[in-house]
Structure 1
Amino acid sequence: MWLRDLAAGDPNHSLHVVCGIEPAKALEILGVEPASIRPCDLPDSKPDEFTSLPCAALGIEPGSTAVLLAGRVGEWTFVYDDSGYTFDSTAGALSGYGRTAATSVYTINGEATLTFALDGDEVEDIVIDNLILEEDLLAMPAELRTAFEAAGVAEWEDLEPGEVDSLIGMRAACALAGLALTLDDVRRIPLLMAQRHEAG
């Protein structure tokens, strides 16, 4: 729910979660210049359907650059990327030095993935369209399996029996990090934000 409230109308975004690191350091690992990191107060609303709430907080045109929003809940830090610029090898980088991390991506075309990493190594790279829970859960690391079980499957009318919905990766990442949040909860967390230009 909180990701939906942060996102633009047709999101193309990514969510990173990592245990045991501060938000500013996570932003730096994701390619943000330290000098560009600033505190963030989210506005009351979005100006239009094309603008994410973090983008509105920064006061820039949507699509001109990615806005990364970071905060910490307990031992876990999250980074929300409103444009999905940060995704490639990010879970592995965030998980260095014995940490646990995951990156979930959802594109404007409905393509979705989740990458799970331990101690610098990406140990699971899941394409949600190919996920068959009955077959794949048992092969997952216990921590990730528990997260997918907690995420559940949305009751969408067009889903076939045994088919998962495309948002399960985002919910699993949230479940892994204990991010059962509302937007009001997020507003109460000390937040940091920064811009990140697309690689290349």
Structure 2
Amino acid sequence: MPTHTPGFPPGTLADDGLPIWISEVASTERHHALHVVRGRDPRQTLEALDADPGRIRTCVLPAAGTGPYTSLPAAFLADECGDSGTLLSGTNGSWTFVYDDAACVDEEVLAELSCGGRAAASTTFSVNADVSLAYAVDGSVACHVDLDDLVLERDLPHMPDALRTAFRAAGTIEHDCLSAGEADHEICMRAVCALAGLAWTVGDLRGAPLLVAPYE
């Protein structure tokens, strides 16, 4: 499958264009989100997303999930996982990420995460393949992207600099159902990963210190 993804070297993307570390942890039936914020540590970020401080734990991901609807973080928590989903968090430099295996956290939380001069971004991929992305700086949402309305050539020049750079790094992946250069369904996940420098291999993920918490 031809690709032009300058921010993602070999070994960092699955065949469908999803960053491979997310493909590693996601369930087969995906309804998930990724949140990133600069300048907060993972525990602070999980607490800001309403995780119970007493239920935040260090995490060693299992080798496999327990079924098509179970992510690896949920499999790790087993009977402790929340009714709504599981949050997995780690860092890359000054950025913290939270993989949200059931897209539990609303984008509205993003503005709060970015308060104090921080930047934050969130992207959601629904079970119906609805895709959106929000980018916030210093307490306010600076840009919102709906994949159905995204035209890269038209929209990239109007994005904030950091987000535009992230989308260019995310690039495009050609599918039979898409025109050349048209945004694919995983472009927003790649863009958020590019923003936070998360062009990781599976080995990078499994070698990183991780925290996990149920979301209820």
TM-score range, shorter chain: over 0.9
Q: Tell me the distance in 1 between the aligned counterparts of 2:79 and 2:136.
A: 33
Deviation at 1:162, TM superposition (A): 4.3
Question: Residues 71-98 of structure 1: CA distance to partner in whole angstroms, max 9, x if unpaired?
Answer: 0111110000100011231221111110
The 8 Å contact of residues 85 and 215 in structure 2, kept in 1 or not, is answered as yes
Aligned to 2:68: 49
Question: CA distance change for structure 1 residues 110 and 41 in 2, over 3 Å: closer, same or farther?
Answer: same
Q: Where do 4+ consecutive residues of structure 1 move more than 6 Å?
A: none
The 8 Å contact of residues 87 and 105 in structure 1, kept in 2 or not, is answered as no
Which residue, out of 178, 182, 195, partners 2:201? 182
- TM-score w.r.t. the length of structure 1 is 0.94
Q: Tell me the distance in 2 between the aligned counterparts of 1:87 and 1:166.
A: 20
Aligned to 2:162: 143
The 8 Å contact of residues 172 and 181 in structure 2, kept in 1 or not, is answered as no
Q: Which has the higher contact order (CA 8 A, sep 6+)?
A: 2
Task: Among all aligned residue pairs of Structure 1 and Structure 2, give the percentage whose two residues are the same amino acid.
Answer: 44
- TM-score w.r.t. the length of structure 2 is 0.87
Question: CA distance change for structure 1 residues 164 and 20 in 2, over 3 Å: closer, same or farther?
Answer: same
Q: Tell me the distance in 2 between the aligned counterparts of 1:61 and 1:40.
A: 13
Considering only aligned residues, what root-mean-square deviation do their CA atoms show, in Å? 1.4
Deviation at 1:150, TM superposition (A): 0.3
Question: Residues 10-64 of structure 1: CA distance to partner in whole angstroms, max 9, x if unpaired?
Answer: 2101100111110000001111121111111100111222211111111149883
In structure 2, stretches of 5+ residues that fail to align are 1-19
Residues 14-33 of structure 1 correspond to what in structure 2 (within 5 A)?
A: 14-33=33-52
Which residue, out of 19, 24, 29, partners 1:5? 24
| Secondary structure, aligned partner of 2:192 | helix
| Secondary structure, aligned partner of 2:173 | coil
Which amino acid in 2 is paired with 1:104? T
Which residue, out of 77, 101, 106, partners 1:82? 101
In structure 1, stretches of 5+ residues that fail to align are none
Which amino acid in 2 is paired with 1:90? V
Aligned length in residues: 197
Deviation at 1:184, TM superposition (A): 1.8
Aligned to 2:7: none
Q: Tell me the distance in 2 between the aligned counterparts of 1:56 and 1:183.
A: 17
The 8 Å contact of residues 100 and 119 in structure 1, kept in 2 or not, is answered as yes
